[in-house]
Structure 1
Amino acid sequence: MDTFKRSRYYDFCITIYWFDMTAQLKTVIDRMYAGGSTGFHFHKTALLLDAGADHIFDAAISQYKAMTSYLKWEDLGIICVPNMEDKGSMKESSKLGEVIQLAKSIK
């Protein structure tokens, strides 16, 4: 929690199972809701999604956009990486360059 409190921005990195984010990450996001009325020390976020299939990111993206709008966070980018079925798949993904560029742009 200490690291979370010191962050200037926050990345949500989510693996999609059954067309939405995991229950563990949803719990974290739900617990952040209370902070919406008092505000957060950061206001910039990014969303990185991966899944074993394509075209299944809509629910997580919709929730992220609603959350950033409600909390008045600046969205630094959304990257969806499909077809992550095997260990090491990211090394072969054409999206790896986008992830690296996003990481470099966040300062």
Structure 2
Amino acid sequence: MGKNILVITGSPRKHGNSSMLADAFIKGALKMGHTVNRFDSAFKAIGGCRACDACWSKGTACFYEDGFSELAPMLEEADVIVFVSPLYWFGMSAQLKAAIDKMYAYDKPDCSNALKIKESLLLTCAAEKDTAVFDGIIGTYRGIANYLNWSDAGVLAVPSVYKIGEITHTGALEKAELLGSSL
């Protein structure tokens, strides 16, 4: 039986290197018969969590209606979640982080639609050559996965890519596709 996979991207650069990682991962997952939904957070207006604690008070995860309203049903159906982001200042993009912050609603005691996510992955890339720059994003991702009791199904961190398309010369797209087909 196939899994329901949600891929959330965070790059504001269309067709960039991290977007290509997402495409390759999705290709592998689809080959295995999984269902895949993709949500490009950078092209949705998602405000940060306001800590108002009004989650679920209107029957929806977030009191404020924005792009997260489109993401919430996908989160609720997913078995696997994949975060895809370029590395910005040692972490994920602000667009992806805003979507993740609003997931706070699903950690509340009065949550009416608990998530059924069991596995997670991180795909990321950076212009820097030193792989130590990924420590922050990987640490944040693993902290989230651990806190939410998700099984870490893999991390792919690709250094030395900046210009659109540079990732095609690294072997990372093949690795991303293999990760997609390994679920």
In structure 2, how many angstroms separate the alpha carbons of the residues matched to 1:4 and 1:34? 11
| Long gaps (5+) in structure 2 | 1-70
Which structure has the bigger radius of gyration? Answer: 2
Task: Answer 1 or 2: which has greater helix percent.
Answer: 1
Report whether the alignment pairs 1:74 with 2:151: yes
Match of 2:100 in 1: 29
Q: Quick one: distance in 2 between partners of 1:67 and 1:8?
A: 16
> TM-score normalised to the size of structure 2?
0.54
- How much has 1:91 moved relative to structure 2? 1.4
Aligned mate of 1:62, from 109, 132, 139:
139
What TM-score do the two structures reach when normalised by structure 1? 0.87
Instruction: Check whether the contact 2:145–2:151 (CA below 8 A) recurs between aligned residues.
Output: yes
Percentage of matched positions with identical amino acids: 30
Residue among 97, 108, 118 paired with 1:43: 118
Alignment RMSD: 1.6
| Residue 93 (str. 1) matches residue 170 (str. 2) | yes
Aligned residues: 106
Give the structure, 1 or 2, with the largest relative contact order (CA under 8 Å, sep 6 or more). 2
Runs of 4+ off more than 6 Å? none
Question: For residues 60 and 43 of structure 1, what CA distance do their matches in structure 2 show?
Answer: 20
Unpaired runs of at least 5, structure 1: none
